[in-house]
Amino acid sequence: MLTTLWLKGIIAYRFRRLFAALLGVALTVALLGALGAFIANASASMTARAIADVPVDWQVQLTSGANSGAVVTALGQVSHYRAVEQVDYASVNGFSANVSGTVQTTGAGKVIGLSPQYATSFPAELRLLLGSSNGVLVMQQTAANLHVSIGDHVTIARPNLPDATVTVAGIVDLPQADSLFQAVGAPAGLAPTAPPDNVLVLPRDLWHQFFDAQTAARPDTVHTQLHVRLAADLPPDPAAAYVYVQQLANNLEARLVGQVVVGNNLAARLGGVREDALYAQVLFLFLGLPGAVLAALLTLAVAAAGAEHRRREQALLRVRGASTAELLRLASVEAITLGLGGVVLGLILAYVATLSIAADANLLATTTLPWTILAAVVGLLLALFAVLYPAWQSARRSTVAGARLVVGRTGAPLWQRLYLDLALLAIAAFSFWQTASSGYQIVLAPEGVAQTAVDYTSFLAPLCLWLGVGLLTMRLWRVALTRGRALVAGLLRPIAQGLSRLVAAALGRQSPTLVRGVALVALAFSFATATAVFNTTYNTQARIDAQLTNGADVTVTGTSAAPAGPLLGQLAAQPGVAAAQPLMHRFAYVGSDLQDIYGVDPQRIGSATNVANAFFANRDAAATLALLARTPDGVLVSAETAKDFQLALGDQLSLRLQTGADRQYHAVTFHFIGVVREFPSAPKDSFLVANASYIAAQSGNPTAEIVLLRANGSAKDLAAQVRPLVGSVAGARVTDLGQTAQAISSSLTAVDLGGLTLLELTFAILLVAGASGLVLALGLAERRRTFAILTALGASDRQLGAFFWSEGLIVLLGGGIIGLALGFGLAQMLVTVLTGVFDPAPEALSVPWLYLAALALAGVVSTVVAVLSVRVFSRRAVGEALREI
Amino acid sequence: MNEALVRAANIGRTYGEGESAVVALRSASCEVAPANRIAIVGPSGSGKSTLLALLGGLDQPSSGVISWPLLGAQAGLRPTKVAFVFQTPSLLAPLSVVENVELPLLLGRVGRDEARQAALAALDRLELRALADKLPEELSGGQAQRAAIARALAYRPRLILADEPTGQLDQPTARHFFDVLLAILAGSDTALVVATHDHEIAARMAEVWQMQHGTLEVPR
């Protein structure tokens, strides 16, 4: 009976505070729930994207004597599959062709035999550039080496057998040559072998016609693979999917002991994505958890704002005979009501938030359910702690007189006496140093090892910095308000005028409540600032990453046989093109290593694409490009190449390029003038950048294979616009930035933070508004007696305002300025700690000024609204409060 | 006619509207002149506090007319001319005793030093100087109420309205409190209107007004 009465009373008369606390619990639950859904969704989408990109899931290599039919049967028993194709490989001594009276010959090469359905089953392996796919196909580079085209004859030099001649039906690109010609079964960690430069693709029957004899004569030069596309349902988490796929492969190898070795491309890909998924998880936790902590702190602050009322009510109940157990029972009812209401509302909010990432978002799905349960449990515990702990504390004060204590000359709180703030800052510094000394390696997913590890202690640095500065803010403000009253009075004089001394004294004695508000506002501002700055930097880097991979906003990529360069004039004249630049893409031998070489106009390349300082070892793009422009035979060498070949700046390099009328590789002299780390459209590892004019002069071929376009507006629209124009060039492709960003699944920056960013920034604004407004409003409402007395004493509106606005100003400005500064510091720390997320690393933080302005506005508006509404409320309630005086 | 500090003519006060309306005061007429000592007696809820709030300009009557011939416009009544003393000490918790006492002076834009001197003088008169730097929560009930009186007297107001000022004090403390108050006001033309249940205290006042169910009876 008493319980029901109590509950009704709380709902009827303490509704505002109950609702505010409920909102805090709901925000905590919603943030945690939504975070879980984001993590699960990101992992699942990374897995799906990674799988979609793998050209062939398994390359099952048959050992000599193995029966392919038996292997296919065993495969069916291990897993469902969508396609299986037999691929035969033969190594040959070389190819030759007699075209227009001159004979071209190549070094050793490979001939593979494919069935007619292969291209349909594994479309990513072959790209027809010219001619027909029915018949003998020549790889593009081989065709260039041999100067052959459709209808020409190519002679195959078979080991220990007479030469065989075939007729070219088509020219193809083998985009996945690395994996197609991988050494299956090579020990992990062994450097991958370069794919062959010379390849012929034969229809399977023809291959057997030519190479069955070679199989018999030289079995060491021939092998057979089964290319498999699996149909198994993989776990959504990349790490679990990796383990599952690895186990399937192990199972097949165990069933067919000694007969097969599985080249597990799918596991290799998932293995790479595992690390990114873990980084994504870390990233989400880094960015999201402080929000949940803040919402919890806000809930506790709201609950604490009603502590005076609670103390008085409990003292009265005690006077009327209530025992401590009864008091706690009543508080439990309130806590459970608060908890259940908060959890339900929070889960609804989380559901709405997750809908923004996927229409079929489900908080009860297997992967998200643990998060949902965790969020609900945290919400309930938070409600219990927020209500029961203060109730238990005040229940220990047994008298009404004791309950009337409202300010008191209280000593410093325990954390302050224990210097917890300084201890947290020391932990932050130590943790940061430790993470830095490990090279910011916070995620470990070693290749070929099933176990993965995340160094969660790296969380400590930003978390301890955040909480430490929050507590230090409280300490400093407490000192300022209690011991620096003259200073505070001076600062408040413009608002409080003649009352500034009294206002400063009153604020000093209310410092425990006030500094709590200041610290909360500081933490809320810092959370919002750090999140916004980090996310903006992340998105900027994602764009740079995409631009690096794609080359520019829009890239038209031709081939050596069909370059895009001749279209330059037409492309540059297209509306929506801000700048167009040609980019040569050739190959050059550095020693025996064939590498990509890019020819640029160093003075103009920057007009069509972004060339960042971070691309160069000296971190100065302008100086490096200027040096290249001044050095016609200069070459920029990738860091890996410089290291592998022990090159020193100024060294003369002799590279072999295709030059002269014979289109053979001849030595060309360059000078090594700088180290390049990244370059638009270049691969990540080994490549070279030189002057296009020099390459053109030396090779006798001035035509650029690629054209880079900078878009005035939408890159996607521009790409669509130029596609018909490029259609006339066989084999040329048009790609835009967005398309590339979608495709880079091996890079973490491909994880779309959009949904999380929107969610976090919305929450951050709510938390800032809540911290600066709600706590103030509730605190002031609690002290309406003070304002009733002031009114009765004859305080004018302006004088009343002195008390209201002084408090509001200290909470907002005191917390806001520290929070903004802390936010920038945290963002910098996050960017440093999460270096592994970025490729390339950002040169500086990207600052979302508009959002920060909106944030400051939210703080100001909520403070103004809080103060004004409390003033209105206090004025309206003066009569009532006077009767209570 | 012009010698009244405050004059009420047929004033009434109703809270709320329609069926839930509560009539707190019905057509009350009265006036308070300088140096008057008036007690308003009546049971709880009879409208005493409402009448005091209206006389002090803290509230607006729903009907009738109220004026302050010797004090001027309603807006300028507090803190200089009218002071309130409430049932509980009504000191501001975060301010020390002396700060509480000087508060009305500072609200009235008296200079800082002058306000402090006046506050200390008021505390002297109530023998509270030693407690000047204490916080309200460190005072006993009687000390706190005396501090509230000191605050009311600090500005030397023309009218003091006390709403059951001894309501929470024990009998001896209440009498002592009243002795001090009357002694300090003795000989001054500051008017004192006290709402009280205590007939003994009421008997020590020159005039006693009766309140019953919102109706005021003023002896002629």
pLDDT in tens, A405-423: 445 556 788 889 999 999 9
How far is the C-alpha of A284 from the C-alpha of B131, rounded, in Å?
58
Cα B86 to chain centroid distance, Å, stands at 7
Would the pLDDT of A746 be above 60? no
Q: Are residues B200 and B151 in the same domain?
A: no
Question: Which one of B59, B87, B108 has the shortest CB-CB distance to A885?
Answer: B87
Instruction: List the one residue out of A699, A514, A675, A433 whose CA is nearest residue A588.
Output: A699
How far is the C-alpha of A819 from the C-alpha of A466, rounded, in Å?
9
Write down how long chain B is: 220
Tell me what the pLDDT averaged over chain A comes to: 83
Taking an 8 Å cut-off on Cβ atoms, the answer to whether A502 and B106 are in contact is: yes
Percent of chain A's residues with pLDDT above 90: 26
Domain annotation covers residue B55: yes
Among B117, B139, B155, give the residue marking a domain's end.
B155
Would the pLDDT of A785 be above 70? yes
**Cβ of B157 under 8 Å from any chain A Cβ?**
no
Tens-digit pLDDT profile for residues A632-671: 999 999 888 888 888 889 999 888 887 766 666 788 999 9
Q: Which 3 state secondary structure label does DSSP give A490?
A: helix
Mutation target among B15, B50, B103 for the A interface, most CBs of A within 10 A = B103
Residue A472: what pLDDT? 94
Residue A879: what pLDDT? 60
Beta bridge partners of residue B37, listed in sequence order? B192
Taking an 8 Å cut-off on Cβ atoms, the answer to whether B94 and A507 are in contact is: yes
Q: Are residues B27 and B74 in the same domain?
A: yes
**Cβ of B86 under 8 Å from any chain A Cβ?**
yes
**A399: its two tokens:** 């008298």
Strand order in the sheet with B215-217: B63-67, B6-15, B22-32, B215-217, B207-212, B37-41, B191-196, B159-163, B82-85
Residue A389: what pLDDT? 85
Residue A689: what pLDDT? 94
| ipTM of the shown complex | 0.88
Torsional sign, CA A696, A700, A703, A704: negative
Å between B83 CA and nearest CA of chain A: 7
Task: Using an 8 Å CB-CB cutoff, list chain A residues near B58.
Answer: 791-792, 878-879, 882
CA within 13 Å, CB half, A289: 17
Domain annotation covers residue B28: yes
Type and span of the H or E element at B15: strand B6-15
Instruction: List the one residue out of A817, A816, A807 whose CA is nearest residue A866.
Output: A807
Among B108, B130, B155, give the residue marking a domain's end.
B155
Mutation target among B46, B106, B110, B149 for the A interface, most CBs of A within 10 A = B106
**Cβ of B137 under 8 Å from any chain A Cβ?**
yes
Task: Using an 8 Å CB-CB cutoff, list chain A residues near B51.
Answer: none
Q: Are residues B209 and B184 in the same domain?
A: yes
Type of residue numbered A774 = L
Tens-digit pLDDT profile for residues A796-810: 888 888 888 888 888
**Cβ of B51 under 8 Å from any chain A Cβ?**
no
Residue A722: what pLDDT? 86
Q: Domain containing B31: what range?
A: 1-81+157-220
Residue A403: what pLDDT? 47
**Cβ of A488 under 8 Å from any chain B Cβ?**
no
Domain annotation covers residue B107: yes
Identify whether the C-beta of residue A183 lies closer than 8 Å to the C-beta of residue A268: no
Taking an 8 Å cut-off on Cβ atoms, the answer to whether B79 and A796 are in contact is: no
**Cβ of B104 under 8 Å from any chain A Cβ?**
yes
Confidence grade of residue A627 (pLDDT, cut at 50, 70, 90): very high
Segment A374-396 mean pLDDT = 87
Q: Are residues B134 and B118 in the same domain?
A: yes
Instruction: List the one residue out of A525, A395, A516, A387 whose CA is nearest residue A21.
Output: A387
Q: Are residues B70 and B104 in the same domain?
A: no
Q: What angle do CA A878, B43, B10 make, to 5 degrees?
A: 65
Q: Are residues B164 and B148 in the same domain?
A: no
Instruction: Quickly list DSSP for B146-183.
Output: HHHHHHHHHT--SEEEEESTTTTS-HHHHHHHHHHHHH
Cβ atoms within 10 Å of A472's Cβ, excluding its own: 21
Confidence grade of residue B212 (pLDDT, cut at 50, 70, 90): very high
Type and span of the H or E element at A62: strand A58-62
**DSSP-derived secondary structure letter, A750:** G
Q: Are residues B6 and B16 in the same domain?
A: yes
Identify whether the C-beta of residue A735 lies closer than 8 Å to the C-beta of residue A744: no
Domain annotation covers residue B87: no
Tens-digit pLDDT profile for residues A183-193: 887 665 554 56
SS3 for A285-319 is HHHHHHHHHHHHHHHHHHHHHCHHHHHHHHHHHHH
Residue A405: what pLDDT? 47
**Closest-approach residue (CA) in chain B for A796:** B107
Task: Using an 8 Å CB-CB cutoff, list chain A residues near B93.
Answer: 406-407, 509, 786
Task: Using an 8 Å CB-CB cutoff, list chain B residues near A883.
Answer: 49
Residue B137: what pLDDT? 86
Average the pLDDT over each of A480-489, B147-156, B165-174 and give the range with the smallest value.
B165-174
Type of residue numbered B37 = R
Q: Which 3 state secondary structure label does DSSP give B28?
A: strand
Domain annotation covers residue B210: yes
Q: Who contacts B118 (Cβ-Cβ below 8 Å, separation ≥6)? A: B102, B105, B110, B154, B155
Residue A701: what pLDDT? 85
Å between A758 CA and nearest CA of chain B: 43
Identify whether the C-beta of residue B45 lies closer than 8 Å to the C-beta of residue B107: no
Segment B117-142 mean pLDDT = 90
Instruction: List the one residue out of A784, A861, A51, A34 whose CA is nearest residue A371.
Output: A34
Q: Are residues B193 and B117 in the same domain?
A: no
**Cβ of B168 under 8 Å from any chain A Cβ?**
no
Tokens 């923004």 belong to residue: A356
**Cβ of A789 under 8 Å from any chain B Cβ?**
yes
Taking an 8 Å cut-off on Cβ atoms, the answer to whether B112 and A506 are in contact is: no
Cα A710 to chain centroid distance, Å, stands at 25
Domain annotation covers residue B48: yes
Selection from A364-373, A469-478, A608-617, A764-773 with the highest mean pLDDT: A469-478
E strand map for A660-748:
664-676, 687-691, 706-711, 733-736
Write down how long chain A is: 885
Instruction: List the one residue out of A308, A198, A884 whose CA is nearest residue B49.
Output: A884
**Cβ of A507 under 8 Å from any chain B Cβ?**
yes
Task: Using an 8 Å CB-CB cutoff, list chain A residues near B79.
Answer: 793-795
Taking an 8 Å cut-off on Cβ atoms, the answer to whether A885 and B108 are in contact is: no
Average the pLDDT over each of A273-287, A330-344, A442-456, A766-780 and give the range with the smallest value.
A442-456
Mutation target among B55, B77, B90 for the A interface, most CBs of A within 10 A = B90
Q: How many domains does chain B have?
A: 2
Would the pLDDT of A781 be above 80? no
What number of C-beta contacts closer than 8 Å exist between A and B? 86
Identify whether the C-beta of residue A394 lies closer than 8 Å to the C-beta of residue A308: no
Longest dimension (CA), chain A: 116
How far is the C-alpha of A685 from the C-alpha of A140, rounded, in Å?
22
Would the pLDDT of A3 be above 80? no
Q: Are residues B33 and B75 in the same domain?
A: yes
Tens-digit pLDDT profile for residues B110-128: 888 999 999 999 999 888 8
How far is the C-alpha of A819 from the C-alpha of A697, rounded, in Å?
59
Cβ atoms within 10 Å of B156's Cβ, excluding its own: 13
Which letter, b or e, does each residue of A169-181 get, where b requires 16 or more Cβ atoms within 10 Å of its Cβ? bbbbbbebbebbb
Identify whether the C-beta of residue A430 lies closer than 8 Å to the C-beta of residue A822: no
Q: Are residues B74 and B163 in the same domain?
A: yes
How far is the C-alpha of A459 from the C-alpha of A508, rounded, in Å?
35
Preceding omega of B34 cis (within 30 degrees of 0): no
Would the pLDDT of A450 be above 60? no
**Closest-approach residue (CA) in chain A for B79:** A794
Taking an 8 Å cut-off on Cβ atoms, the answer to whether B135 and A408 are in contact is: yes
Task: Using an 8 Å CB-CB cutoff, list chain B residues near A408.
Answer: 135, 137
Q: Give A456 or A93, the one with higher predicted confidence.
A: A93
Residue A274: what pLDDT? 80
How far is the C-alpha of A393 from the C-alpha of A435, rounded, in Å?
40
Q: Who contacts A413 (Cβ-Cβ below 8 Å, separation ≥6)? A: A512
Would the pLDDT of B90 be above 90? no
CATH number at residue B165: 3.40.50.300
How many separate helices (H) and strands (E) can be counted in chain A?
A: 33, 23
Selection from A420-434, A538-552, A715-729, A778-792 with the highest mean pLDDT: A420-434
Task: Using an 8 Å CB-CB cutoff, list chain B residues near A406.
Answer: 93, 137
Q: Are residues B67 and B137 in the same domain?
A: no
Task: Using an 8 Å CB-CB cutoff, list chain B residues near A501.
Answer: 112
How far is the C-alpha of A392 from the C-alpha of A311, rounded, in Å?
10
**B215: its two tokens:** 């109706």
Domain annotation covers residue B9: yes
Segment A164-180 mean pLDDT = 87
Q: Are residues B76 and B162 in the same domain?
A: yes
Residue A838: what pLDDT? 72
Domain annotation covers residue B118: yes
Among B122, B137, B155, give the residue marking a domain's end.
B155
**DSSP-derived secondary structure letter, B206:** S
Å between B71 CA and nearest CA of chain A: 14
Confidence grade of residue B68 (pLDDT, cut at 50, 70, 90): very high
Confidence grade of residue A441 (pLDDT, cut at 50, 70, 90): low
Tens-digit pLDDT profile for residues A237-264: 888 899 999 999 999 999 888 888 999 8
Window B:105-134, CB contacts with A under 8 Å? 106-109, 111-112
Helices (H), A108-165: 118-121, 140-146
Segment A565-578 mean pLDDT = 89
Residue A753: what pLDDT? 62
Segment B12-32 mean pLDDT = 89
Instruction: List the one residue out of A864, A753, A756, A778 whose CA is nearest residue A291.
Output: A756
Confidence grade of residue A227 (pLDDT, cut at 50, 70, 90): very high
Taking an 8 Å cut-off on Cβ atoms, the answer to whether A793 and B58 are in contact is: no
Taking an 8 Å cut-off on Cβ atoms, the answer to whether B58 and A792 are in contact is: yes
- The backbone torsions φ and ψ at residue A186, rounded to the nearest 5 degrees and listed phi first, read -65, 145
Residue B1: what pLDDT? 47
Question: Which one of A405, A505, A789 has the shortest CB-CB distance to B137?
Answer: A405
Q: Give A547 or B50, the one with higher predicted confidence.
A: B50
Type of residue numbered A283 = L
